[in-house]
Structure 1
Amino acid sequence: MHPFFSILVFYDQRWNEEDVCRLLSTCFSQFYSHWELWLCPYGAGSVFSVQSFENRWPGAKQKLHFLKKTSTKLEALNWVLTFAQGEYVVLIDPSVQLSKEALFVFVVTINRYPDLLMAFSDEDSMDESGNRSDPIFKPGWNPELLRSNNYIGQAAIYNKQTVLDRLSIAPLLDGQEEWDLALRIGSFDCDKDRVVHVPRILFHRRDSKQAAGQNDREDTQRLVLEADCRRRGKDEVTIKKTEEGWHLRYSIGPLSPLVSIIIPTRLPLPYVHRCIESILSKSTYRNFEILLVINGYGSLDQEQNAFLSKYCNLKQLRLLWYDQSFNYAAINNWAAKEASGELLAFLNDDVEVISPDWIEEMAGHAFRKEVGIVGAKLYYPNLTIQSDGMILWKDYRRFHGMSRELSGYLGLAKLCQNLTGVITACALMRRELFEWIKGFDEEFAYNWNDLDLCLRLKERGYWTVWTPFAELIHYCSVSVGRESVDKQREWEEERELFEKKWKEKFPSDLFYNPNLSDSAPFYRLGTTPWDIKAWGKENKE
């Protein structure tokens, strides 16, 4: 397949002829030659003729087309799509330059994924001398992150018919066309490769650390998100601006469904006392029940008996007695059958609530039909990050040890996003979905049961959501008790079982860019980047 591309260049009075020529130069240098280019001036942008460029590029007359000036970029886009001949379109302005292999790499991608609707790539900055810096190595297709921040920008190609179909719904929002379009095109279907990330730097932005195409007009960005929520039937969403991007809080409706909080425990005091008290005293959502599942209770001491006596008559707390040997997966599966709530919250007995609205934040996501499970942001007692989601085949912890105040790479430590897995020291999901998927796999008694659950949900088309707006302290692995004598041996045995089960099905984590490091600290440049040009000191295109 040799697809034809239409490169659509939009510019206003901010860009002069030299700016446009700099972009055209990168287009005429493409390895792949099956393309056309439309110059689309709007506002007070200059109007050029083919004579302006023929001396520089002999093939300009055949390749270049000129749209009449329009009032707005959106008007220009609507007009040019009626003339463009390409099966795929690139929407850019002179702030962007294409790498020489850009179109060729996209052709390879299209041939691999013939039903492609959109593909996007990584990008970096390039100064006037061709020096490159400030790379953005993006996660794969991540609709939750895209709502938090337009991490795709202009570094993308689109199926033209798909663009026309989406435009028929309603006009794009002027000033945020690329973000609006990406949200309209993006599908929640995990299994169809319709939106693909190419982990190569194919676009260069001119001296900007923001993703190319981002517009910082807050009012227009809000309109984009409001329109996206309406299209998805999510009218009751609170949209707030944050320093890193946007926070969408989904309503759980007026009926206040019951949340069953399941806490397996060996009664390690004072941890479990702190956990229970923080839920009872801090949680602003009140329609919950706590199922305290006591395991290994043969010889309770005086302090533990006093603790149970204090809480045994509490209306919101039920004491359950599990008399089998410790198996985290089995305990939770058994307790889930005893639960009464529509939602199940899995909680370790050594966590402490920080965010009073943690239940509202997580439940709002859990009730979305496309979401399988929701994870929280967990800290050590000194408020450095203990866990904020998992990177498959690498580590349980992405920004482990980083301060609560820091945003991390691309702001990812403070933006809601899809991840491959979250840990169930604090996680929440719909009960009917948990029952349908038959709960945790009890072969994973100590480790990997949470990630296994996330992958089984992913396999069936559900997304895992991680939110930084539900925060708790995690004192770490107190729940396991004293029975786990050889934790390292158990970890290795269960890891081997996990790899046997999942390695072939999910060989890599699409939410973690392969150009980044394979080991902690994560989100730094890897030793063997996929990008052909390991840019740095002297690399120039």
Structure 2
Amino acid sequence: MPVFNTAPEILRKSIQSVLSQNYRKWELCIVDDASSMPHIRHILEYYASKDPRVRLLFSAENEGIAATINKTASMASGEYLGVLDHDDELDPLTLFEYVRTINKHPDADCIYCDEDKIDEQGNRCDPWFKSEWNPDLALSFNYVMHFAVYRRSLFNKVGGFRKDYEGSQDYDLLLRVSEKTDKICHIPKILYHWRMGKGSIATGPESKPHVFVSGIAAVKDALRRRGVDAIVEDAPDSWKGVYRVKRRIIKPLLCSILVVSYGNRVALARLLNSVFSKVPEGNREILVCMHSSLDIDRDEFSKEYKGEIKSVVFEGLNSVPGALSKGVQQASGDVLFFLDETMELVSSESYFGLLEHVQREEVGAVGGKVYYANGLIEHAGIILGPFGLLGYAHRATHDSFGYVGSKIMISNYCAVMGLGMMTRKKLITDVGGFDKELERAYWDVDYCLKLKKQGYLMTYTPYAKFRHHISVKAIHEMVVEPEAAIFKSRWQHIIDRDPYFNPNLSREVEDFSFSYGHLPKEIWAGLKGSREDSS
């Protein structure tokens, strides 16, 4: 615990939250960073005299938070260490839950939990239910925050906290640790209480603007270490502390754009015009997939578009995956981009925003933000669990930040929507293509989950935007039988526990509302109006 000029009552509450832990095998290492307030020494010495597990060090001069935390770490003898800020509090079960996690996952190198805030009246509010380890989200925003506990040997190996990143020293440490291990565990319980107050970033980003300068620097340095050619900037239309990593296209890739046509020439022209204007001509081929039953003169069709497109005819069931599967067979590109005539590219980022991620070896598929014809969001990633099956993140909501900014940040999900998806041809071949048993629904999610099983990431980017010229679907339209039963038989374990969709969030809707039965009763009173608007 680093301490500097903390208000007496708040400091006592913070220390008392450690003394009140149900798990008793702990040590509290406190370093005072040359506080000028005389009560600090009296309070710290009082607690140290009462409990030998409280260990103290008083610095002769103010050195800043990074150096102070490193001093506390040098005093530690435990296998794991975590930082409790001098004005925050732990839940009484925090250490018990962390030790239980370590016993279950003895190879864990980093553990974090959900958290909430304590307002200036002492009420608990703003519950923050997090994703399990989410590499792309971690480059967009320090979503791990509190209470991050690290294996001490790894903490020392990476060099602890760095003074050059003061203010975002915890973010910088997280990024460096995540490059050395993937043994990162999340506890989906509120075990840390972050105090709001004057000068605390818990009240808003404007309280500590320097934090976000060092935050960008931390991300830039992480990309440098990882050999990623990219620029980092404050995310547009967001708040300070949200970043956009914009990756450069490493080499030109031939992209086969597969378009499913149902015979509506006006709709198809709208889609193709958006492709022609948004996707560079040199690195694309366009294949329009049509069922043999359509009464279309394909020679005339090709002539109309001056040979810029190739028509692909498929037999059998007239379905989207059937059409795309035929197109994949005839595609020449290493990269595949799936569309149909009801879609429309909104900007050049609709293409390049996907391409920058699909070029990454670790990414299996990438999807963007898709809007219904009326402007409501249709897709911002796919979440498993809603309606006992799956849902589209933030479906039928307005284009706002979403819960903790989830609509506006590049992040990982278990799956992305098939229309608007970009993937690599080799990956489709590796998993045996789209499953013929899922002709009418869930073929895209099934494909993504097969890639996930092989260790690939699925990435959502809000910068690739599409308009889907269809009406908003009712909830009952999301369940299609017998495909739903087939899908459940394969993927029930992920439906039950989607790692990117916190179990404390409701499975009755797709807008990241809370599952109120999971909320601690202490925060109910302060909950009203505490969420980011996700409507």
> Is the TM value for this pair above 0.5?
yes
2:531 is aligned to none
Tell me if structure 1 keeps the 8 A contact 2:114–2:190: yes
CA deviation string 1:43-91 (max 9, x = no partner): 6566888753465676334422225355122222333333211111111
Change (3 A) 1:517 1:339: same
CA distance, structure 2, for counterparts of residue 33 and residue 205 of structure 1: 22
| Aligned mates of 1:505, 1:357 — CA distance in 2 | 31
> Does 2:242 correspond to 1:249?
no
Pairwise CA distance, 1:428: 0.6
Q: Please identify which structure carries the higher helix content.
A: 2
Select 2:307's aligned residue among 290, 310, 314.
314
Residue in structure 1 matching 2:133, options 141, 146, 149: 141
Equivalent residue, structure 1, for 2:270: 274
Residue of structure 1 equivalent to 2:525: 537
Per-residue Cα deviation, 1:257-304 (whole angstroms, up to 9, x for no partner): 111111122222321111111110233575211111111344338xx9
What is residue 11 of structure 2 aligned with on the other side?
Answer: 20
**Is residue 450 of structure 2 the alignment partner of residue 456 of structure 1?**
yes
Asked if 1 retains the 8 angstrom alpha-carbon contact of 2:287 and 2:327, the reply is yes
Cα–Cα, structure 1 residues 329 and 188, in superposed 2: closer, same or farther, change >3 Å? Answer: farther
Give matches, 1:236-385, under 5 Å. Answer: 236-242=230-236, 243-244=238-239, 245-253=242-250, 255-283=251-279, 287-300=283-296, 307-311=301-305, 313-315=306-308, 317-385=309-377
Answer whether contact 2:411 2:461 (CA < 8 A) is retained: yes
Distance 2:326 2:229 in 1: 36
User: TM-score of the superposition, structure 2-length normalised?
Assistant: 0.88
Over residues 355-406 of structure 1, what are the superposed CA-to-partner deviations in whole Å (9 max), with x where a residue is unaligned?
A: 22222111111111111110111101222111111111314322122223x1
**Residue of structure 2 in register with 1:389 after alignment:** 381
Deviations 1:86-134 (A, max 9, x none): 1111113223211111111111111111111111111112246542112
Equivalent residue letter for 1:198: I
CA–CA separation in structure 2 for the residues paired with 1:403 and 1:319:
37
SS state of the match for residue 391, structure 1? strand
Deviations 1:2-42 (A, max 9, x none): xxxxxxx12334x3444322211111111111111122233
More displaced stretch, 212-221 vs 491-500: 212-221
Q: Residue 79 of structure 2 contacts residue 153 of structure 2 at CA under 8 Å; is this kept in 1? A: yes
Name the structure 1 match of 2:21: 30
Letter of the 1:248 counterpart: V
Q: What letter corresponds to residue 337 of structure 1 in structure 2?
A: Q
Query: What SS does structure 1 have at the residue aligned with 2:482?
Result: helix
Q: Which runs of 5+ in 1 are unaligned?
A: 1-8, 479-486
Tell me, in whole angstroms, the C-alpha distance in 1 between the residues paired with 2:164 and 2:133.
Answer: 21
Which residues of structure 2 form unaligned runs of 5+? 528-535
Preserved CA contact (<8 Å) 1:285 1:359: no
| TM-score scaled by length of structure 1 | 0.87
SS in structure 2 opposite 1:103? helix
**Secondary structure in 1 matching 2:142:** coil
Quick one: structure 1 residues 505 and 137, their matched pair in 2 at CA, closer, same or farther if it must change by over 3 Å? Answer: closer
Identity %: 27
Match of 1:68 among 59, 67, 74: 59
Q: Aligned partners of 1:393, 1:188: CA distance in 2, in Å?
A: 32
Partner deviation per Cα, 1:147-201 (whole Å, 9 max, x = no partner): 1111121322111111112227977722211111112222698xx6x21111111
Q: CA deviation at 1:343?
A: 0.9
User: Would the aligned equivalents of 1:516 and 1:522 in 2 still touch at CA under 8 Å?
Assistant: no
Q: Is contact 1:49–1:66 with CA below 8 Å preserved after alignment?
A: no
The residue correspondences of 1:95-110 to structure 2 (distance < 5 A) are 95-110=87-102
C-alpha contact 1:350 1:477 (8 A) present in aligned 2: no
Cα deviations across residues 196-219 of structure 1 (Å, max 9, x unaligned)?
Answer: 111111111112696699864332
Q: Is the 8 A contact 1:296 1:325 kept in 2?
A: no
Q: Summarize deviations over 1:218-263 as a string: whole Å, max 9, x none.
A: 321111110111122103335343324111111112x321111111
SS of the aligned residue for 1:402 comes to: coil
Residue identity opposite 2:92 in structure 1? K
CA RMSD of aligned residues (A): 3.0
- AA in 2 matched with 1:329: P
1:39 aligns with 2:30: yes
Distance 1:538 1:422 in 2: 35
Report whether the alignment pairs 1:200 with 2:196: no
Task: Answer yes or no: is the 8 Å Cα contact 1:266–1:297 preserved in 2.
Answer: no
In structure 2, relative to structure 1, the CA distance for the partners of 1:518 and 1:102 (3 Å cut) is: same
Partners of 2:267 and 2:342 within 8 A in 1: yes
Distance change in 2, residues 1:171/1:440 (3 Å)? farther
Instruction: Return closer, same or farther for 1:222/1:266 CA change in 2, 3 Å cut-off.
Output: same
Residue 525 of structure 2 aligns to which amino acid in structure 1? K
What is the match of residue 484 of structure 1? none
